[in-house]
């Protein structure tokens, strides 16, 4: 049997498991693995500027396409602790990524050696599995098990910690007979699906809540087919957005306290039955359980048994991969429809569609500084149905979810439960590394953008072009809005008198010069201050990307304070800005922005006064 260093066996397993790209930062304790990567030459490596950035790149890479598993690599000590945020983010959103860290030699693990930390114990709460490999012969089998764990059941991340002497040890390993372990996915039975259908047909106003598990299972086509066979409207969660096209007549809007549509919340409050598939009843989707569940019955389908009943106990639960369950739902629904056993829910669907066409928020504002709503309206016009949006937490994400349109699965790549600032930029680079052709548009507020702004240099170095929209109000906008409840505006302003800002830009007092920083990191950047500049700016940004093959930053200078619609309950959302009431005859085309100018405008509470 061939003999080789343990780390070469690890690299051969990575190859067999389909890994072609890794993100990381080399260091003394992980250099043996890097030496093996160099010898083999089969896995492309992208050098991050921060190890947390590498973990988010791996996260974006995984989310970009079915079957992907992103890999991030770092040395011992702080490299592993820097990855913890990335691991937590991936765990929270059911994203499989593999983090590999170097470690001090086994004999020094408990002697406070330089950069020796018990990363296995630190990582366990935020991974599916974290392990320090203490026997060289286990290395290839631990890597094999890691891929099995990441892919089986509810997907999630794994950390493998490799002591330096374990990496260097020679072992026997023959990769010619290697095969990945079978992946375990629980599947619903026909009896369970028929029982669920028997409950569903008793409803008068049913809804399907489509979660991120549907996208993980690559089952969006099955969801749409099931909705069309039954005629039941669909409410995607933020993680499930794109599982049904936004302009599909059965897409009834998103529901929640923040990332929601007015029509989505109104429709949910009228419903009497909810079938949740691949979702976890996140609190920013539900609000209080009392309001969310009142007057409704629930079926919950989830791949993870302990998710069913975790937030509230449904009337019926099914443990199943979303794809396996939907395949049976389609089969049973088609049979029942042929037998005349499905109710006619067309009136209910028409009612939901009417709300979708009429209960809208205003987006067309002409003032300077810009209102963010106008930015999203212009993005809808500038970008195609195939555009992939990447974003994390903040008012930018919340407003983006309220105003943008998504038409395909994996075209809204969003950091959900954890919401770490700084995630957007490296995640967008990971998406681009996974897909060289798709139009990728990242969306950040100024603070998210500044967190890991140095990773722009990675995009320049490795020619990873994408467009990064920065909506700049020089505020921690979401925290400022939350501070209203405390009657304060305290330590959330990013504005300062930057002595280096160019006077002709007319943006003194907005703090960081993002255009100068982006250009200093090898990228291109444009600043937009007036609605008249939008169309030319988008055109020029695309041309710069095509010419230079680097990230292009497009910064929009916003008014300092805009409160974005949100609230404490689904039935208690404060709109702050003007909203629209369209005539019942309005078409779906009327949702796009400028054509809504002649619609009736209903005033809501006025926004707060701008700070001095």
State yes or no: is 421 an active-site residue: yes
Give the residue carrying structure tokens 């805009």: 562
State yes or no: is 51 an active-site residue: yes
Region of residue 278 (phi > 0: left; psi between -120 and 50: alpha; otherwise: beta): left
SS3 398: helix
Contact 370, 559 (CB under 8 A): yes
Per the structure block, which two tokens stand in for 166?
Answer: 């374990």
Which of 291, 479, 492, 517 is flagged as catalytic?
479
Contact 492, 475 (CB under 8 A): yes
Stretch (H or E) spanning 434:
helix 424-434
Cα angle 175, 176, 177; round to 5:
90
The closest of 54, 160, 59 to 416, measured between CA atoms, is 59
**Rounded CA separation 264/260 (Å):** 7
User: Cβ neighbours of residue 548 under 8 Å, at least 6 residues apart?
Assistant: 465, 524
**Rounded CA separation 228/248 (Å):** 10
Give the residue carrying structure tokens 């990496």: 167
User: Cβ neighbours of residue 320 under 8 Å, at least 6 residues apart?
Assistant: 186, 187, 188, 192, 301, 302, 303
Stretch (H or E) spanning 372:
helix 372-382
CA dihedral 311, 313, 316, 322 (to 10 degrees): 10
Cα angle 75, 79, 81; round to 5:
135
Per the structure block, which two tokens stand in for 114?
Answer: 């330089």
Taking the CA atoms of the chain, what radius of gyration do you get in angstroms?
25
Per the structure block, which two tokens stand in for 121?
Answer: 């114990």
Contact 524, 494 (CB under 8 A): no
Which of 207, 375, 453, 476 is flagged as catalytic?
476
**Rounded CA separation 566/284 (Å):** 10
**Rounded CA separation 195/263 (Å):** 30
Contact 464, 551 (CB under 8 A): yes
State yes or no: is 479 an active-site residue: yes
Contact 132, 108 (CB under 8 A): no
**Rounded CA separation 206/601 (Å):** 31
Which of 51, 117, 390, 570 is flagged as catalytic?
51
**Rounded CA separation 587/219 (Å):** 29
State yes or no: is 47 an active-site residue: no
Which of 14, 19, 25, 98 is flagged as catalytic?
25
**Rounded CA separation 348/203 (Å):** 11
User: Cβ neighbours of residue 313 under 8 Å, at least 6 residues apart?
Assistant: none
State yes or no: is 521 an active-site residue: no
Q: Which residues pair with residue 130 across a beta bridge?
A: 159
**Rounded CA separation 518/17 (Å):** 36
The closest of 148, 129, 86, 152 to 304, measured between CA atoms, is 152
| Catalytic site positions | 25, 51, 421, 476, 479
């Amino acid at each position: 049997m061939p003999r080789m260093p343990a780390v070469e066996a690890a690299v051969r397993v990575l190859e067999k498991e389909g890994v072609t790209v890794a993100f990381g930062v080399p260091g003394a304790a992980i250099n043996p693995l890097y030496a093996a990567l160099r010898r083999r030459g089969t896995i492309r490596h992208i050098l991050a500027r921060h190890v947390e950035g590498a973990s988010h790149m791996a996260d974006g890479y995984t989310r970009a396409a079915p079957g992907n598993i992103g890999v991030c690599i770092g040395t011992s000590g702080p490299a592993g602790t820097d990855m913890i945020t990335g691991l937590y983010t991936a765990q929270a959103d059911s994203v499989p990524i593999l983090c590999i860290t170097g470690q001090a030699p086994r004999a020094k693990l408990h002697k406070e050696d330089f950069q020796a930390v018990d990363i296995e114990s630190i990582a366990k709460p935020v991974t599916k599995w974290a392990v320090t490999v203490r026997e060289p012969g286990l290395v290839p089998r631990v890597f094999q098990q890691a891929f099995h764990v990441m892919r089986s059941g509810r997907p999630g991340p794994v950390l493998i910690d490799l002591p330096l002497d374990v990496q260097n040890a020679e072992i026997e390993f023959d990769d010619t007979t290697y095969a990945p372990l079978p992946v375990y996915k629980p599947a619903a039975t026909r009896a369970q699906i028929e029982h669920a259908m028997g409950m569903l047909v008793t409803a008068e106003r049913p809804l399907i809540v489509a979660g991120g598990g549907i996208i993980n299972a690559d089952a969006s086509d099955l969801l749409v087919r099931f909705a069309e066979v039954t005629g039941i409207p669909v409410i995607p969660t933020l993680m499930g957005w794109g599982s049904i096209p936004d302009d599909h007549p059965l897409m009834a809007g998103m529901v929640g306290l923040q990332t929601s549509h007015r029509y989505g919340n109104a429709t949910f409050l009228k419903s009497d039955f909810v079938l949740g598939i691949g979702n976890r009843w996140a609190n920013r989707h539900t609000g209080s359980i009392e309001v969310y569940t009142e007057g409704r019955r629930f079926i919950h389908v989830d791949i993870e048994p302990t998710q069913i009943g975790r937030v509230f106990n449904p009337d019926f639960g099914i443990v199943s991969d979303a794809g396996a369950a939907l395949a049976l739902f389609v089969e049973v629904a088609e049979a029942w429809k042929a037998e005349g056993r499905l109710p006619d829910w067309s009136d209910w669907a028409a009612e939901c569609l009417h709300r979708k066409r009429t209960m809208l928020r205003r987006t067309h504002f002409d003032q300077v500084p810009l209102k963010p709503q106008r930015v999203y309206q212009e993005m809808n016009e500038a970008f195609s149905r195939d555009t992939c949006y990447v974003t994390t937490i903040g008012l930018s994400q919340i407003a983006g979810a309220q105003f943008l349109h998504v038409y395909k699965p994996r075209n809204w790549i969003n950091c959900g439960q954890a919401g770490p600032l700084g995630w957007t930029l490296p995640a967008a680079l990971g998406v681009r590394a996974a897909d060289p052709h798709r139009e990728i548009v990242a969306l950040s507020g100024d603070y998210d953008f500044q967190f890991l702004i140095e990773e722009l240099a990675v995009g320049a170095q490795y020619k990873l072009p994408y467009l990064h929209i920065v909506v700049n109000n020089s505020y921690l906008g979401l925290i400022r809005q939350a501070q209203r409840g405390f009657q304060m505006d305290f330590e959330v302003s990013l504005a300062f008198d930057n002595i280096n800002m160019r006077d002709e830009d007319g943006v003194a007092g907005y703090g960081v010069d993002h255009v100068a920083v982006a250009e200093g990191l090898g990228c291109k950047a444009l600043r937009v201050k007036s609605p008249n500049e939008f169309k030319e700016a988008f055109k020029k940004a695309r041309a710069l990307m095509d010419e230079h093959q680097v990230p292009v930053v497009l910064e929009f200078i916003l008014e300092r304070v805009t409160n974005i619609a949100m609230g404490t309950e689904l039935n208690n959302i404060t709109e702050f800005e003007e909203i629209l009431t369209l005539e019942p005859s309005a078409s779906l085309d009327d949702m796009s922005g400028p054509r809504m100018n002649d619609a009736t405008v209903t005033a809501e509470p006025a926004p707060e006064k701008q700070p001095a």
